[in-house]
């Protein structure tokens, strides 16, 4: 992908002869661009694998009755679809984008800890091989939902659960190390003149996300360690018989789990905040409030976790607190949506593919936000909890939310990464297929949830049939469009038209001042920060 840079006269002592050749390059690289590439390809692969699992689920749910799989296997598919998408697709994709973009955006030559960076990546294929291999073990793979509540995931779990725990530990370690790297880079390696409030918003969102990750991934590690002890060493953290409490598992899990979902969306906010100003040819509206909004969302994310547990039997005071705190998050989130629209307002907009995905993000993520607000209302949540209404909500914020932002980022920055433009017609086609697919898949799920269809069931009563059929059709359309996306990406890399350095007329930021494709080593000498190159 990156071109080899010929040694310049007057260069430092480090005479680079470009990247190594062959497999060794990818195994041992400490270059942030290579590692970004590795993360992105890894996440795309996991996205397709998790997608196949989703299609198995949707195929079974196409009609009432059991047609293709048995319930035990169905539960493994829903569980692993969730685990792979959360930990294998969305998170590594954002880390890959961070690796590629953060050093360039702040004028740094690489990440603060390049070798740790390599390790952080290579842990992941190892961890996911373990996790996916559990599907082929005796007793099957994890079948207790991606949220793995005890005691279903402890006393009643298949034997492979120990491997699952090990894989989770590995993924967590990778995330923590990657986050330490990102924070160290951002805090210490910005070029002179790039103050914190001049950083591109994408860098801000990643700075805050990295702190969230360091705060909560260890809590997840604690939860699965307690599970491990309950399963193998006779403790009773979550076992009522020994004086433990299954509900405590939920508290600990969601203390991680809620910040986790913000971890999965804040970088998306950052991406969209880069793309919209470019295609509106207008600076981001309200940069300062955008930063404060992200910080408030991150802070609030720590005090709302029990809104995932409204039906567990908490006392009234607890229910009220979590309801109010959850509703509060709508305020900074709303501020961000208004600011994006104000950026567009009276801009001079063009609608290339990245902009299409970014606009769809704003609309559809907001719809997901509205269903989230409805879910926050505790008495109403008794009717929504554990139904497809919840499934619709989180897929709206994750698919046309996080995933669309990653796709938008790919279209937007791939000319910088590989020096070639994607085919605009194909990109637009991909956009419309995805947009239609995502809505046909997930909008009907609001209705099946309201009609009373529970989550995580392989078969359902007849009144849910129409919406399920529609949803399954949409799923296959969406799935096909992502394979089409793979084709577009490969075609771009191999035979796209050469790209200019600036690529996009309205683009601002340090990454657009260097050649396309970006040289293997960039900003080996720190750049001078002018206002033109500060945040857009």
Of 224, 233, 388, 247, the residue nearest 306 (C-alpha):
247
Shortest spacing between CB 266 and other proteins, in angstroms: 18
Site for other proteins in 93-112 (CB under 8 A): 112
Count residues near other proteins (CB under 8 A): 132
How many Cα atoms within 13 Å fall on the side-chain side of residue 144?
A: 19
Is there a cis peptide before residue 517, judged by omega within 30 degrees of 0? yes
Which of 120, 278, 366, 482: binder of other proteins (CB under 8 A)? 366
Which of 14, 17, 21, 346: binder of other proteins (CB under 8 A)? 346
> Binding of other proteins at residue 386 (CB under 8 A)?
yes
Of 303, 100, 144, 333, the residue nearest 216 (C-alpha):
303
CA 149/CA 127 separation, integer angstroms: 21
Cβ neighbour number for residue 388 with a 10 Å cutoff: 29
CA 249/CA 238 separation, integer angstroms: 6
Establish whether 308 is a catalytic residue. yes
Q: Which of 41, 122, 146, 520 is catalytic?
A: 146
Shortest spacing between CB 32 and other proteins, in angstroms: 13
Select 347 or 527, whichever has its Cβ closest to other proteins.
347
Select 347 or 400, whichever has its Cβ closest to other proteins.
347
Q: Considering only 84-92, 150-158, 418-426, 524-532, which stretch makes contact with other proteins by CB under 8 A?
A: 150-158
Whether residue 273 contacts residue 405, with contact meaning beta carbons closer than 8 Å, is answered with no
Site for other proteins in 27-66 (CB under 8 A): 63-66
Shortest spacing between CB 457 and other proteins, in angstroms: 3
Residue 310 CA to its chain's centroid (Å)? 26
3-state SS assignment for residue 15: coil
Tokens of 151: 């005691």
Q: Which of 58, 307, 430, 446 is catalytic?
A: 307
- Collect all residues with Cβ–Cβ distance below 8 Å to 452 and sequence separation of at least 6: 387, 463, 464
Q: Which of 175, 371, 434, 472 is catalytic?
A: 175
Which of 129, 195, 311, 500: binder of other proteins (CB under 8 A)? 311
Residue 529 CA to its chain's centroid (Å)? 30
Whether residue 94 contacts residue 67, with contact meaning beta carbons closer than 8 Å, is answered with no
Select 171 or 221, whichever has its Cβ closest to other proteins.
221
Which of 16, 251, 428, 491: binder of other proteins (CB under 8 A)? 251
> Binding of other proteins at residue 288 (CB under 8 A)?
yes
CA 385/CA 369 separation, integer angstroms: 16
The helix-helix angle for 32-60 and 91-106 (nearest 10°) equals 150
Is there a cis peptide before residue 151, judged by omega within 30 degrees of 0? yes
Establish whether 504 is a catalytic residue. no
Q: Which of 260, 352, 381, 533 is catalytic?
A: 260
Site for other proteins in 434-473 (CB under 8 A): 447, 450-452, 454-463, 466-467, 469-470, 473
Residue 46 CA to its chain's centroid (Å)? 12
Whether residue 2 contacts residue 520, with contact meaning beta carbons closer than 8 Å, is answered with yes
Establish whether 33 is a catalytic residue. no
CA 80/CA 49 separation, integer angstroms: 10
What φ, ψ does residue 387 adopt, rounded to 5°?
-110, 180
Shortest spacing between CB 73 and other proteins, in angstroms: 9
Which of 109, 283, 515, 526: binder of other proteins (CB under 8 A)? 283
CA 156/CA 122 separation, integer angstroms: 32
> Binding of other proteins at residue 174 (CB under 8 A)?
no
Select 41 or 73, whichever has its Cβ closest to other proteins.
73
> Binding of other proteins at residue 377 (CB under 8 A)?
yes
Whether residue 438 contacts residue 399, with contact meaning beta carbons closer than 8 Å, is answered with yes
Q: Which of 58, 282, 336, 535 is catalytic?
A: 336
Q: Which of 32, 190, 308, 385 is catalytic?
A: 308
Which of 7, 137, 196, 380: binder of other proteins (CB under 8 A)? 380
Select 205 or 371, whichever has its Cβ closest to other proteins.
371
CA 208/CA 51 separation, integer angstroms: 29
Shortest spacing between CB 350 and other proteins, in angstroms: 5
Establish whether 258 is a catalytic residue. yes
> Binding of other proteins at residue 145 (CB under 8 A)?
yes
- The site string for other proteins over 204-243 (x = CB under 8 A, - otherwise) reads ----------xxxxxxxxxx-xx-------x-xx--xxxx
Cβ neighbour number for residue 401 with a 10 Å cutoff: 28
Site for other proteins in 504-533 (CB under 8 A): none
Of 412, 405, 406, the residue nearest 492 (C-alpha):
412
Q: What is the DSSP letter of 438?
A: H
> Binding of other proteins at residue 374 (CB under 8 A)?
yes
Select 353 or 492, whichever has its Cβ closest to other proteins.
353
- The site string for other proteins over 395-424 (x = CB under 8 A, - otherwise) reads ------------------------------
> Binding of other proteins at residue 349 (CB under 8 A)?
yes
Residues catalogued as catalytic: 81, 110, 146, 174-175, 258, 260, 262, 273, 307-308, 333, 336, 455
């Amino acid at each position: 992908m990156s071109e080899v840079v010929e040694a310049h006269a007057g260069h430092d002592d480090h005479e680079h002869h470009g990247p190594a050749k062959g497999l060794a390059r990818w195994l041992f690289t400490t270059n942030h661009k290579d590692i970004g590439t590795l993360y992105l390809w890894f996440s795309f692969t996991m996205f397709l694998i998790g997608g196949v699992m989703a299609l198995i689920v949707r195929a079974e749910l196409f009609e009432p009755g059991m047609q293709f799989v048995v319930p035990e296997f169905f539960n493994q598919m829903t569980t692993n679809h969730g685990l792979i998408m959360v930990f294998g697709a969305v998170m590594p994709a954002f880390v890959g984008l961070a690796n590629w973009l953060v050093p360039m955006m702040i004028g740094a030559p690489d990440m603060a800890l390049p070798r740790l960076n390599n390790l952080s990546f290579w842990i992941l294929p190892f961890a996911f091989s373990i996790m996916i291999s559990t599907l082929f073990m005796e007793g099957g793979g994890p079948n207790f939902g991606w949220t793995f509540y005890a005691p279903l995931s402890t006393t009643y779990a298949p034997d492979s659960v120990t491997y699952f725990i090990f894989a989770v530990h590995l993924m967590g370690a990778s995330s923590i190390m990657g986050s330490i790297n990102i924070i160290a880079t951002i805090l210490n390696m910005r070029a002179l003149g790039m103050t914190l409030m001049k950083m591109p918003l994408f860098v801000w969102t990643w700075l805050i996300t990295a702190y969230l990750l360091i705060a909560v991934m260890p809590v997840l590690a604690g939860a699965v360690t307690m599970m491990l002890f309950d399963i193998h060493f006779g403790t009773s953290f979550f076992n009522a018989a020994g004086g433990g409490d299954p509900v405590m598992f939920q508290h600990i899990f969601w203390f991680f789990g809620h910040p986790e979902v913000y971890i999965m969306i804040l970088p998306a906010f950052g991406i969209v905040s880069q793309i919209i100003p470019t295609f509106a040819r207008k600076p981001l509206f309200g940069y300062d409030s955008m930063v404060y909004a992200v910080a408030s969302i991150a802070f609030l994310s720590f005090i709302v976790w029990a809104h995932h547990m409204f039906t567990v039997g908490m006392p009234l005071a607890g229910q009220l607190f979590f309801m109010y705190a959850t509703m509060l998050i709508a305020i900074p989130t709303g501020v961000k949506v208004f600011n994006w629209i104000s950026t567009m307002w009276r801009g001079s907009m063009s609608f290339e593919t990245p902009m299409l995905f970014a606009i769809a993000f704003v609309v559809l993520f907001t719809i997901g936000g509205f269903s989230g607000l409805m879910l926050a209302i505790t008495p109403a949540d008794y009717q929504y909890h554990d139904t497809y209404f919840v499934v619709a909500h989180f897929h709206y914020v994750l698919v046309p939310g996080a995933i669309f932002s990653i796709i938008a980022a790919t279209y937007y920055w791939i000319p910088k990464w590989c020096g070639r433009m994607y085919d605009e017609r194909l990109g637009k086609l991909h956009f419309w297929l995805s947009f239609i697919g995502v809505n046909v898949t997930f909008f009907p799920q609001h209705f099946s949830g309201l009609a009373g269809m529970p989550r995580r069931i392989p078969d359902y009563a007849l009144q849910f049939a129409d919406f399920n059929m529609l949803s399954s059709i949409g799923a296959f359309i969406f799935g096909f469009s992502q394979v089409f996306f793979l084709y577009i990406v490969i075609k771009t890399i191999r035979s796209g038209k050469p790209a200019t350095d600036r690529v996009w007329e309205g683009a601002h930021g340090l990454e657009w001042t260097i050649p396309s494709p970006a040289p293997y080593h960039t900003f080996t000498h720190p750049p001078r920060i002018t206002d033109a190159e500060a945040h857009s």
